[in-house]
Chains A and B, each alone.
Chain A
Amino acid sequence: MLKEKLLIVDDQDDLRKMLRLALGYGKYKLFEAADGETALAIARAEKPDVILLDVMMPGKLDGIAVCRAIKADPELAGCFVLMLTARGQASDYASGDAAGADAYMVKPFSPTKLVEVVEMRTRLDKPVRGYGF
């Protein structure tokens, strides 16, 4: 059986490491990107099942733009996009929603909860706050 593909997009090395550890070795086929352009390129090439997407990233494409592009691509639209952000304002969720994100988690978040959301593909109509359990 083929492993599910999961793409981690965050400009911070430590955070990517933490997500990597949380998701466990060998369970998923993991891809990583530190900026929007790389993330979009990997997504188009690998067609991942899940994308963990940081909102605030340097470069031309931030997380919202990447999400919008993925959801606009018919080949990628089915992929489960979980937005990660350090900003917790209502306007931010709204823009994530508009971009078609499936779920939204606010930093700091519980890695356990994140793994649960990813495994269950839980569509969160409300953002998960820091201590989201």
Chain B
Amino acid sequence: MSNATPALQIDDLRKSFGKAEIIRGVNLTIGRGERHAVIGPNGAGKSTLFNLITGRFPSSGGKVRLHGNDLTGLAPFQINRMGLSRSFQITNIFPNMSVFENVRCSLLWSRGYKYSFWHIVSKSRELTEAADAVLEQINLTERRDLPAGMLSYAEQRALEIGITMAGGADVIMLDEPTAGMSHSETDYIMDLIRQVTENKTLIMVEHDMGVVFGLADYISVLVYGEIIATGRPEEVRANPKVQEAYLGAALEAEH
């Protein structure tokens, strides 16, 4: 596997729900270590694109390759084992389990525990320390033993990101990580994302243009199931097609 292989390569990906074509031939190449944001108006198919890549829905056509390996027909858990991890637009944690347990569960597979029934998890110092380190990193050490469902919204989002990156996947996909957050919470999550995705490939869907332009090396604009532009932030910002279709309106709304 050479460095030249892109982290993620999408060729002519399509998805229809009945007659409605939601994703109409997406082509996208995301290099290793890139921080790539997918933006676009509501209903453009951003979340659907995420769900197709991660195997949550089967695609109607086209191919997705992770480090050159075809993902067609694989289940989410198989894709995850190949080094791709994702978060969700709606907070998706284990609400009845403690914050610590949430993180520990996300470490089990990648640390090789698999379906073991001959290890006692609390006896593994390695697991405990690794989980505590993640908690430290996402700033939730004080909440360690609380049920995750009792955390504040921003804390749950932080936990979601912690769970997503804890397993050590090198391709991280975040679906609207700052949705519904206040300005200070957004800054906190942005710093956190920057910190935990160091040396990793990041693909995110985001509405907050501040976050997008603050974090992303590359931006793709998805409109009606097609990517109309991909490039450096400044190129995309200057692109008249993007201005017309989406960004002008979005940037105006910001100010």
Question: Do the two shown chains form a genuine complex with each other?
Answer: no
